[in-house]
Amino acid sequence: HQLPAKPAYARVKIWRRLKGLGAVTVKNSVYALPANAETREDFAWLVGEIAELGGEGFVCEAVLVDGLSDGEVEALFSAARDEDYAEVAAAARELAARDAGDGDLAGPVARLRKQLDEIVTIDFFGADGREPAEGLVSGLEARLQVEETDMNAQPNEPTPVTPVGGLQGRVWVTRQGVQVDRIASAWLIRRFIDANARFKFVPGKGYAALAGELRFDMFEGEFTHRGERCTFEVLLAEIGLDDAALGAIAEIIHDIDLKDGKYGRDETAGIRTLIAGIAAAHDDDNQRLERGAAILDDLYSSFSGKQGDK
């Protein structure tokens, strides 16, 4: 699209509209949305607005044959939404740090939920940043509910321990394109819950669990982010393992996944680099789990004080 130099507000208005639609910049004034009836209609209305402002715009359906691949364009969408989710997460952490009553927090939390829900509607490819943001906002909402009945209650209540036997023989479902929290959670499941656990990888949005399935690290999953805890931390609390080595690993996974520097362990940067290398080298999720498990096995042995033969 093209817009005249004046009035200046026209460019800002159209930029905000494009951002609200979830469009990403491909080049200069060329913006993209996934092709479907709804997005075509959104762009058609926007072209009308551009014309009313004295500009011109065109809508076309494109097939990329050179330059950017479909995967790279999808990554642009996910990166944009991750920035949005990071903004929500930062605001949620700021609210969580306040020592305030319901009257002070209820309004900001409601606005934050609205902001998060709006981002979700334009998260076309299930960006990784959703789970941390969702967990933090849900934690604030839970805090408000607790304060309504008991002003002395803590924001993060202890997680009831789930018998490991009830978690065995299940199919564990998570989002495709596993990263650090899902890799570590799968390792925890196979190492300490069910050595024969099976894993299933699905798109990030709208998956309803079948009989015998448990979802983890995905929206509405049985095991996912809660408050300021990543999925690995939630699983560890659920099975009630009091293990210092696992606690140390949980701190590393937390800082890599939530990017809040809460624990600041020396090992974190190295593990982050190793996991990123696994993701870069392997597209297959099972291979990522296998490679990640080898690293976590060795890390667990190190923290447990178990030394190999010298």
pLDDT in 10s for each residue of the chain, 310 residues: 888 888 888 889 999 999 999 999 988 889 999 998 889 899 998 999 899 889 999 999 888 877 788 889 999 999 999 999 999 999 999 998 886 554 578 889 999 999 999 999 999 988 888 888 988 888 888 778 766 655 544 445 555 567 777 899 999 999 888 999 999 999 999 999 999 999 999 986 678 899 999 999 987 789 988 888 899 999 999 999 889 999 999 999 999 988 888 999 999 999 999 999 999 899 999 999 999 999 999 999 999 986 554 4
pLDDT score for 167: 92
CA atoms within 13 A on the CB side of 126: 16
The pLDDT tens digits of the residues spanning 194-234 come to 999 999 999 866 788 999 999 999 877 899 888 888 999 99
| High-pLDDT (> 70) share of the chain, % | 91
Give me 5's structure tokens.
Answer: 């130099």
The pLDDT value recorded for residue 216 is 93
Pairing of strands 171-175, 213-215: parallel
Token couple for 140: 């604030």
Residue 200's region, left for phi above 0, alpha for psi from -120 to 50, else beta, is: beta
Contact predicate 299/256, CB 8 Å: no
Per-residue model confidence as pLDDT tens digits over 92-126: 999 988 865 545 788 899 999 999 999 999 999 88
User: What is the value of pTM for the model shown?
Assistant: 0.70
Helix, strand, or coil here: 229? strand
The ranges assigned to domains in the chain are 9-52, 79-149, 164-304
Residues pairing with 200 in the sheet: 173
Q: What are phi and psi of 125, to 5 degrees?
A: -125, 20
Alpha helices in the chain (DSSP H): 9-21, 37-52, 70-96, 102-121, 130-149, 180-188, 231-239, 244-258, 268-281, 285-304
DSSP secondary structure of 47-76: HHHHHHTT-B---------SSS-HHHHHHH
Tokens at residue 56, please?
């011109």
Tell me how far apart the alpha carbons of residues 125 and 79 are, in angstroms, rounded to a whole number.
10
Q: Could you tell me how many residues make up the chain?
A: 310
